[in-house]
Amino acid sequence: EAGVTQFPSHSVIEKGQTVTLRCDPISGHDNLYWYRRVMGKEIKFLLHFVKESKQDESGMPNNRFLAERTGGTYSTLKVQPAELEDSGVYFCASSHDRGWGTDTQYFGPGTRLTVL
């Protein structure tokens, strides 16, 4: 069974540009999460989808970040326009929804974003 995949693995852009990160969850997983680790700090929650619906986007830093999950399959996270402080590693995770909030999240390899 394929794990969570993320694309690209590394992106280098200039301040002001736009970048779109993609996450493909484990097949059959309804829950999809985005996290971010900035400058060696802790990994922080950004948002959570159940299928195509955003359940919790309380961790999104500001309105320059837009996440979508059309059709409830893969998800994209767009940063527009990117700022220097957006540099970090963006992780995606997925879990199977059993409705109890108890399932383990399985993480992808992350996308390392560098904003120059």
Partner 1 sequence: AQKVTQAQTEISVVEKEDVTLDCVYETRDTTYYLFWYKQPPSGELVFLIRRNSFDEQNEISGRYSWNFQKSTSSFNFTITASQVVDSAVYFCALSLPSGGYQKVTFGTGTKLQVIP
Concatenate the DSSP letters of all residues of 80-109 into one string: SS--GGG-EEEEEEEE---SSS-PPPEE--
Give the pair of three-digit tokens for residue 50: 């159940």
Contact call for residue 7 and partner 1 (CB under 8 A): no
Q: How far is the CB of 23 from partner 1 (least distance, A)?
A: 13
Contact call for residue 108 and partner 1 (CB under 8 A): yes
Site for partner 1 in 62-101 (CB under 8 A): 89, 91, 93, 95, 97, 99-101
Query: 27 vs 39, which CB is nearer to partner 1?
Result: 39
Q: What angle do CA 15, 5, 94 make, to 5 degrees?
A: 100
How many residues touch partner 1 under the rule CB under 8 A: the total is 33
